[in-house]
Each structure stands twice: as structure tokens, then as C-alpha cells.
Amino acid sequence: MRIDHATVSDRAVLLIITWAGTREGGAFEIAKVGVFEIDDLGRIRCIDQYDLDQVDAARARFAELVLGPVEALRPDPLRILPNAASLARDRALEAFAARDWLALRALTSRDMVWEDRQKRALLTGDVELWISSLQTVSPWVRFEHELIATVGDRVALEHVGWVGGPKGGEFQIEQITLTEVDADGRIRASITFDLDDRRAAFAEAHARFVAGEAAAIGGQTPIVVLARAFARRNWETLRGCLADNLVFRDHRTLGLLGELRRDEWVESLRVQTDLAPDVDVETLRVITWNTHGRVDLSRAYGILRDGGPFENVMLRVIVTDGDHIRHWDLFEVGDGERALARLEELCVECAQP
């Protein structure tokens, strides 16, 4: 092994490494890019691996680790940055394109689960069924994909298109694919949804985040329970997710909602669903999180009962006591510094006896 390039900071290290040797009588060289996240004690916390043609993605990941969440929101706060799950999915698609089934299998965990929840399929299996299904379509299909959301580092959602088909039977199928990786970056779940099951795909992604990566630190469960209750218009359950002394603050330029207490805010949500019965909220990216809460990038969208479609994109600062939500603040998408500072301020307040 030789190191061809190194970029080092106190938070991360980027290395371009070449593995060289011989195998079965022939020489080989394999070049990889690695981004190593360093914790406060100087230990390696996480490793992201890239192929050489993914060096731009590696540099973006390095910059995110070095600069922190504030700078990572610039210059485009709406950009969904790749995470470990989306990068694992990229490598899986590369292996599929090369019809390298051994490489594809090597990207998965031992307990990998594949589910096709599309109405025409409804299949569940392990890595062997996943690979078998891909082998079936491999002679005449290719994938197009777009990252639409990440939840932490281990869960990603993509809009995927299958394009191809045998001569005379060409087709294009669109779906949403959820990818979850384990702590080692291996794919442990791949789940496909119909496009019109977008709400279910997002709900599954956030449930897996809470049960997986965020489980060790806590603080996220009431946020996910509230989102599920809002989607079902279950106002009693939603209200039960909120602390008696909840404070909602709208820091956006217009600040239409101002400052509300628990029951006032619940009523405002009821009114919102009256004005737009199909209104939904999607969290596109969890920017930072800790035991007290998170900052995330979300959008509310729908069709007004007496008007046209609408979309509001915002940064949300949500703080919990583990069981109930205590603070809910809204900021413009360009106010990342203010949102992160607000989370820090509220976390200090929560830590006080």
C-alpha cells in the first residue's frame, strides 16, 4: 500500500491510496480515496471510501467534516449532500453496471434485507433474492437515479428510473428506493416504493434513523411520532408529543405565525389542513442532531382548497426532553448560522437543572 496524496485537518483526513501486489501470477493496482472522520480524542470515528472517479464527492465530504454544518449549508442550502448510504448505493449501481455480482454481494451486510413494496411486486428476501432480481433484468436495463433526501449518515432516499427492455418491449419504470447501511457502511436494507407512496418512503426512512443511527443518543423519537401523527391527522397523538410548556417561534422574514404555545400551535396545524387538505411535510436532510434535538431542512407542500399548489422550504430547530418536544423554531433556508446557534442555545438551556 502506498499513499499518493494526503490532506489533513484536526477533524478529518483525506487519503488517496493505491493497493499494489500480485494475484494468480499477475500484478494489480487498485486506487481508492478514503475520508476519515476524527473525533475529539484523535480517534477514527468513521471511514467513507470512494473510487478514484468520485474524488469530487470525497472532497465535498472532507469539506463538510472540516468546515462543520454551517459552511456545509453554503453556497446552496437546498443541495442534498451524499452520505454513507447514498455512496454505498452508488457503488452498488456501479457493480450492477459491470455485472460484477461478487462485488455487489461484498457491499452488503450479512443480515441484508431487500423489499419491493411496489403494489405489483410485494416481495421480501435477502441479498440472494436481491441479486437474483437484478440478474433477471441485467441484460436489458440501466438505472438513472437522483438523491432526494438523506436522514443522518446511514439512510438515503433516491428517485430511481429503470430504463430499457427487450427490443419491441422498451419501458421506463420510476420508483423511490431507500438504502440503509450499517456502521461499517455495508448495505443492510434496500426497499423500493411506488412513486405515489412517497409519504411511506419518508416515514420508513425516519423510523430507521431513530431505530438505528440515532438510537444511541436518543432525543429523536417524539419528532418522528409527531410527523406520523400529522400525516394521519391524529391531533390527540400529536398533542401528546408536545410538552405542556412548548414554545413555537417563527423566525422567518415574514414571521406569520409569531410565537405560539402548545394548543395554539396545534390549532394552527388544524387550520393548515383545512386550507390544504393534502398538505404534507418532508424532511429532506437532517443537518445536525444530538441528544436534545436537531436542525433539519424540510418542506411543506400541497394544494390549497381554493387555489393552486404551494411549497414552503424551511430550516427547523426542534428540541426535546426525550419524551416530548419543548421547542420548535422555524428559520429561512439561508439562515443556517442562526438556526445552528439557536439549537446550541436551547441545548444549554435544557442542560440546566
Q: What is the pLDDT of residues 312-344, one digit of tens each?
A: 999 999 999 999 999 999 999 888 889 999 999
* Fold exhibited by the domain 1-72: Nuclear Transport Factor 2; Chain: A, (3.10.450)
Of the two residues 141 and 102, the one the predictor is more confident about is: 102
Residue 231 scores a pLDDT above 60: yes
The three-state (H, E, C) secondary structure of the chain, written as one string: CEEEEEEECCCEEEEEEEEEEEECCEEEEEEEEEEEEECCCCCEEEEEEEEHHHHHHHHHHHHHHHHHHHHHCCCCCCCCCCCHHHHHHHHHHHHHHCCCHHHHHHCEEEEEEEEECCCCCCEEECHHHHHHHHHHHHHHEEEEEEEEEEECCCEEEEEEEEEECCCCCCEEEEEEEEEEECCCCCEEEEEEECHHHHHHHHHHHHHHHHHCCCCCCCCCHHHHHHHHHHHCCCHHHHHHCEEEEEEEEECCCCCCCCEEEHHHHHHHHHHHHHHCCCCEEEEEEEEEEECCEEEEEEEEEEECCCCCEEEEEEEEEEEECCCCEEEEEEECCCCHHHHHHHHHHHHHHHHCC
* Fold exhibited by the domain 77-215: Nuclear Transport Factor 2; Chain: A, (3.10.450)
pLDDT, mean of residues 149-159: 95
Could you check whether 1-72 and 221-351 share the same CATH topology? Answer: yes
pLDDT, position 329: 97
**Cis preceding linkage at 75, omega within 30:** yes
Residue 47 scores a pLDDT above 80: yes
What type of residue sits at position 167?
Answer: K
pLDDT band at residue 67 using 50, 70 and 90 as cut-offs: low
Residue 259 scores a pLDDT above 80: yes
Domain extents in the chain: 1-72, 77-215, 221-351
On average, the pLDDT of the chain sits at: 87
CATH classification (class only), 221-351: alpha beta
